Structure 1
Amino acid sequence: MEERTTVSKNHKLVVNNRKTSLVTGVLDVLSFDLNEVFLETEQGMLMVKGSDLHVNRLNLEKGEVDLSGTIDSIAYSDVQSAVSRGENIFAKLFR
């Protein structure tokens, strides 16, 4: 049986002048388009909304994402409790 060890990474979100952003502690990029980037982070789901958003650099091994564009809003959603209860992640987020 293979034993998995999970290393908890620190999560950091840096926004510069609402034009660029560095996010660390990223586990996965769930979706992205010009108006919305949806990330799974160490601290829960992170939704970045804006216009002309681009993922400039993605390194999931290091857990880092660089974003650019006009950032209008950033919102976290804690879905860990929903996952532990067996709820669908997307059902929880889009209620």
Structure 2
Amino acid sequence: MPIDKTPVWRHQLTLVDREELNVDGVISLGSYDEKEVVMETEQGMMLVRGDGLNIKQLNLDQGNIIIDGIIKAISYEEAGQSKKGLLNRLLK
């Protein structure tokens, strides 16, 4: 029986004064710019929207990202939507 070597982290968010977001349980980083950061987490695709967003720290070995800037919205893609739909939206 093969052993799954994919690490499993607890998905957790810490938002400080809407200016610094620490996310645990990050699997991969999709796209990012100063208005939006897209990442895959243990709980699905997560979108962070705001102004002046900057990735302050990224450690995929530990499944952690720290984003600073003005955080305006945090949302998840619904499980029923396909990744292809998200990819098409990102490539527009």
TM range (shorter): 0.7 to 0.9
Residue matched to 2:70: 70
Give the unaligned 5+ runs of structure 1.
none
Residue matched to 2:24: 24
Aligned-pair Cα RMSD in Å: 2.0
Query: Cα 1:92–1:66, aligned 2, differ >3 Å: closer, same or farther?
Result: closer
TM-score, normalised relative to structure 1: 0.81
Q: Tell me by how many angstroms 1:42 deviates.
A: 0.2
Please give the alpha-carbon distance, in whole angstroms, between the structure 1 residues aligned to 2:38 and 2:22.
14
Query: Cα 1:45–1:62, aligned 2, differ >3 Å: closer, same or farther?
Result: same
Identical residues among aligned pairs (%): 34
Give the unaligned 5+ runs of structure 2.
none
Aligned length: 87
Residue matched to 1:59: 59
Please identify runs of 4+ aligned residues in structure 1 that moved more than 3 A.
none
Please give the alpha-carbon distance, in whole angstroms, between the structure 2 residues aligned to 1:91 and 1:24.
25
* Other structure's SS at 2:34 match: coil
